[in-house]
Amino acid sequence: MEFLQPTTWTEALEMKAAHPEALPIAGGTDVMVEINFDRQRPAAVIDLTKVAELEEWGTENGMLRVGAGVTYSRIIEELGGRLPGLAMASRTVGSPQIRNRGTVGGNLGSASPAGDAHPPLLSSGALVELASASGSRRVPVREFFVGPKRNAMRNDELIAAFLVEPTRGPEQFSKVGTRNAMVIAVCSFAIALDVERKRVGTGIGSAGPTPLAAIDAEEFMAGVLDESGLWERPADVDPNAVARFGELVAAAARPIDDVRGTAAYRRHALAVLARRTFTWAWDERRRSA
């Protein structure tokens, strides 16, 4: 196993170009488990923790651009107000030790359907910035996940950052696990209300081969809110509509039975999570209006 340790972003991209087989490592919360448990012996690893550029965040044309190496702890502390859904999800990641080390970039790189950052990135329509020695591109997160633990990256690319608009309305994240802390999602759900554009964003975790958006549910609920003029004058939403929203979220999932739960339970739980998180988000909208 070869250990590559670039200190600048340019150097990192050059190394990746020269060693396309190299496995990137940042916080190590996924990669190290693979190595410690002897599940993987990559020919090379490329350590990104010395690349200062990856730890920066800033704004760019009204979007937040957050370096792939920003940890969950920093997202909670530094970006909690602007990315509340992602911050809520970050709080559920592992333990303080894991949140101090794990990064959203790493989550995207592993592309696990259970990655906690994915549902809020989906619900808020984030972009993933990929870079290689020959240039960079931005991929909508909704097109980024292409299969179980597979993403749209080419093997000469690294994840530079994700870009997302600061919150445009109430956001929620909710995750089912069979322990009250430090648990991998049995299933999870994120919702983001974009009050200005009158859009409802969703993200489903751990209930399909990839993280998913519940597009029918989004359109349905946006329509309900629109038709009744509720975006402008927030009032009670018909409980039947909320229930239908839950059903549509459940229908969007493609879960399987596995060691963490059954497919049937995941669908059931997603409907509950969707109803509850929508209700909490809508309550917040009503309070703030």
Partner 1 sequence: MGMGRTPPVGLMRITCTVNGKQVSADDVWAGESLLYVLRERLGLFGSKNACEQGECGSCSVYLDGKLVCACLVLGGQAEGREIVTVEGIGSDGALHAVQEAFVEAGAVQCGFCTPGLIVAAHDLLNRIPEPSTVQIREALAGNICRCTGYAKIIDAVHLAARGLAQSR
Partner 2 sequence: MKPKLPPAALMSGRVGEPVRRPDAALKTRGDFPYSSDLQVDGMLWGATVRSPHPYARIVSIDSTEARSMPGVRAVLTHDDVPGKKVYGLEIPDQPVLAIDVVRYWGEAVALVAADHPEQARRAAHAVRLEYEVLAPLTNPELALTENAPRLHPDGNITRAIKIRRGDQNARADVVVTGEYEVGMQDQAPLGPESGLAIPDGAGGVDLYIATQWLHIDRDQLAGVLGLPHEAVRLTMAGIGGAFGAREDLSMQAHACMLALRTGRPVKMSYSRAESFVGHVHRHPARMRYEHGATRDGKLVYVKARILLDGGAYASSSTAVISNACCFAVGPYECPNAIIDGWVVYTNNPPCGAMRGFGSVQNCYAHEAQMDKLAAALGMDPVELRIHNAMKTGSTLVTGQAVDGPVPVAELLSRIKVMPMPTAVSGDHLDLTQMPGGVSNTTHGEGVRRGVGYAVGFKNVGYSEGFNDYSTARVKLAVADGRPRVEVHTAGAEVGQGLVMVQAQIASTVLGVHDVVVLGADTQVGSSGSSSASRQTYITGGAVKAASEAVRDRVFALAESELSGLGRGGSGESDGWRLESDAIVSADGGVVITLATLLGEEVIEETREYRPRRTSRLDGETGQANAHMQFAFAAHRAVVDVDVELGLVKVVELATAQDVGKAINPQAVEGQLEGGAAQGLGLAVMEEIQVKDGVIRNPSFTDYLLPTTLDMPQLRMDVLELGDPNSPFGLKGVGEPPAISSGPAIVAAIRTATGREIKRVPVRPHDLTL
Q: Cβ closer to partner 1: 93 or 273?
A: 93
> What's the rounded Cα separation, in Å, for the pair 35 and 217?
40
Nearest partner of 157 among 141, 136, 140, judged by Cα: 136
> What's the rounded Cα separation, in Å, for the pair 85 and 121?
9
Using rule CB under 8 A, residue 256 touches partner 1: no
Among 50, 137, 149, 268, binds partner 2 (CB under 8 A): 268
Using rule CB under 8 A, residue 260 touches partner 2: yes
CB of 174 to partner 2, least distance (A): 5
CB of 69 to partner 1, least distance (A): 12
* 86 close to 79: Cβ distance less than 8 angstroms: yes
Please report, as residue ranges, which positions from 155 to 184 form the binding site for partner 1 (by CB under 8 A). 181-182
Degrees, nearest 5: CA angle 52-100-152: 65
Using rule CB under 8 A, residue 100 touches partner 1: yes
For partner 1 (CB under 8 A), the number of binding residues is 28
Among 112, 172, 206, 210, binds partner 2 (CB under 8 A): 172
Q: Rg for the chain (alpha carbons), in Å?
A: 19
Degrees, nearest 5: CA angle 108-110-114: 85
Binding mask 4-43 for partner 2 (x = CB under 8 A): -----------------------------x--xxx-----
CB of 25 to partner 1, least distance (A): 6
> What's the rounded Cα separation, in Å, for the pair 81 and 64?
12
Using rule CB under 8 A, residue 73 touches partner 1: yes
Among 35, 195, 251, 272, binds partner 1 (CB under 8 A): 35
Q: Determine phi and psi for 110, rounding to 5 degrees.
A: -70, -30
> What's the rounded Cα separation, in Å, for the pair 23 and 149?
14
Q: Cβ closer to partner 2: 9 or 280?
A: 280
Using rule CB under 8 A, residue 61 touches partner 1: no
Please write down the HEC assignment for all residues of 41-102.
CCCEEEECCCCHHHHCEEEECCEEEEECCCEHHHHHHHHCCCCHHHHHHHHCCCCHHHHCCC
Q: Which residues bind partner 2 (CB under 8 A)?
A: 33, 36-38, 88, 91-92, 172-184, 186, 188, 259-262, 264-265, 268-269, 272-273, 276, 280
Q: Which residues form the interface with partner 1 (CB under 8 A)?
A: 1-3, 5, 25, 27-29, 31-33, 35-37, 41, 45, 47, 49, 73, 94-98, 100-101, 181-182
